[in-house]
Amino acid sequence: MPEARQSLASSGTARDTSSKMALYYVPAVMAMAALGLASRVEGPGNRPITPGWPCPIQSQIAPCTCFMDTVYRLFMDCSLANSEEELERIFSSIFPFKDFYELRIEHNPEDADNVIDKITADTFADLTFKRIIITGTRLQNIIDEAFADSHKTLSYLDLSSNLLHTFPFESLSLYENLATFILDDNQFPDLFDIESLSLQIFSASGNHNMRMNSPKPFQGAPSLRELYLSEIGLTTLRTGLFNSLTQMEVVDFSKNHLTRLEQDAIRVDGFTLKHVIFDDNQIFNISHDSLIGFRENATLSMVANNVVKLFEYDWKHIFEQITWRETIDLKGNNLLCGCDMDWLFMQYKEEYLCRLTDTTRCSSSGNEQVIFIDVDTYCQQCAESFLSCPPQTDCKNPVTLPYHY
């Protein structure tokens, strides 16, 4: 998973011990009372009273565990709960507070005892969560009402590595603060339109043979910054997918079956792109203006494709946008390093050559690193391109002298 996503997914796992609760008991009371979060305590008779603070009584919610961190956020870990019936029993307990920071259910899909295969509108009672992580279960679909009580609070939803093939995408806009939505490694046959004003990160990698039928599936997500669609069986990339997006920073289409990038394959107004990844495809050709919208310090990774030639007309638009050194990685391509790339050497003052990483090598010439090829080789073999032979480009030297051609 990319770093941005990993950092969002790395909050601590909830584990509760009696000693920890003892340490947190006094400050929790003071802090929550100060915030006006103290639960209502009913008078005598049959009216309920607060059973614990701030979590429910542990014996009532076992095998789930509940704890509060140092900034008074409540966590619920139900990774040891095996069935939907068990979850309903647990969440029917009396909870002193209804607003939780995180719910976590992480199952081993190989464990036959884990049989959670549905979530109903009643599963989590009326509790709300800011983060929900449910992975490795036997869930095949999510109903509209599954997380309805968290419409206003949910900001992070990770449903990766289940058996999901349906999700109520039409209700996505009801989650007013949802910023990260992860559906990796499920069984979705189609990618439906994403409608969310708040969504910033969306990932559906590992859904093999997922179809992208909509011409503009992300048009309804104007805040989208990161998109991960790796290993979904994609054979063609529809042009204009990102034309309406102005904040895109990361795009990952690695491990698909793409062979070409047509004009406007990725075009982002505002030049916001930081990282674009096409590793492990079968791309042999890109068209002029196929990738538009890079920041000057962006990176383009096209490792392990079938690129053999770098024609100026097709590739120069990328080298003009990305100006930092060693930011375009063509490692693992069968580059012929012929006169098709002499412009990288001839246009010396722009230092186009230095955009290539030192892992980019020629398939001929003894697997030589492209940035270290002797410029005299091109002066001799491609004489028609050179009025005079330019100096050797020093791509490991941060300052090079200008060359006028």
pLDDT per position as a tens digit, 68-116: 999 999 999 999 999 999 999 999 999 999 999 999 999 999 999 999 9
Task: Select the more confidently predicted residue: 18 or 269.
Answer: 269
In this structure, are strands 250-252 and 99-106 parallel, antiparallel, or unpaired? unpaired
Instruction: Give Cα separations from 10 to 7, 130, 271, 365 (angstroms).
Output: 5, 14, 29, 45
The total number of structural domains that make up the chain: 1
Give mean pLDDT, residues 180-208: 97
- In this prediction, residue 321 carries a pLDDT of 98
Tell me what percent of the residues of the chain surpass a pLDDT of 70.
Answer: 85
Given this model, what pLDDT does residue 283 score?
A: 98
pLDDT tier, 11 (very low <50, low <70, confident <90, very high otherwise): very low
Please say if the pLDDT value at position 344 is more than 90: yes
In this structure, is residue 306 part of a structural domain? yes
- SS3 category, 240: coil
Any idea what the CATH number is for the domain that residue 312 is in? 3.80.10.10
Domain hosting 248: range is 3-338
Measured CA distances, 361 to 276, 278, 300, 304, 325 (Å): 20, 18, 16, 12, 16
Task: Give the pLDDT band of residue 399 (cuts 50, 70, 90).
Answer: low
Side-chain half-sphere exposure of 96, counting CA atoms within 13 A = 22
**Residues above pLDDT 90, as percent of the chain:** 75
360 falls within a domain: no
Cα–Cα dist 80/73, whole Å: 21
Q: What is the mean pLDDT of the chain?
A: 87
Q: Please indicate, yes or no, if residue 107 is contained in any of the structural domains.
A: yes
Q: What is the largest CA-CA distance in the chain?
A: 99
How do residues 41-61 score in pLDDT, each as one tens digit?
Answer: 333 333 333 445 799 999 999
| 144 within domain boundaries | yes
387 found inside a domain:
no
Of the candidates 105, 53, 92, which has an alpha carbon nearest to the alpha carbon of residue 74?
53
Segment 248-266, tens digit of pLDDT: 999 999 999 999 999 999 9
Q: Which residues of 240-373 form beta strands (DSSP E)?
A: 250-252, 260-261, 266-267, 273-277, 285-286, 291-292, 294-301, 328-329
Q: Which helix (H) or strand (E) holds 181?
A: strand 180-182
* Model pLDDT, residue 366: 78
The rounded distance, in Å, linking the Cα atoms of 354 and 371 is 6
Is 371 domain-assigned? no
Q: How far apart are CA 22 and CA 35, in angstroms?
A: 21
Q: Give the model's pLDDT for residue 37.
A: 38
Which pLDDT belongs to residue 16? Answer: 41
Amino acid 52: pLDDT:
59
pLDDT at residue 307 above 90?
A: yes
Task: Assess if residue 404 is contained within a domain.
Answer: no
Helix (H, G, I), strand (E, B) or coil at 82: coil
pLDDT score of 32: 42
Is 355 among the domain residues?
A: no
What pLDDT, on the 0 to 100 scale, is given for residue 400?
46
What gap in Å lies between CA 81 and CA 86, rounded to an integer? 6
Task: Please state, in angstroms and as integers, the Cα–Cα distance from residue 244 to each residue in 30, 57, 229, 240, 241, following that order.
Answer: 49, 50, 18, 8, 8
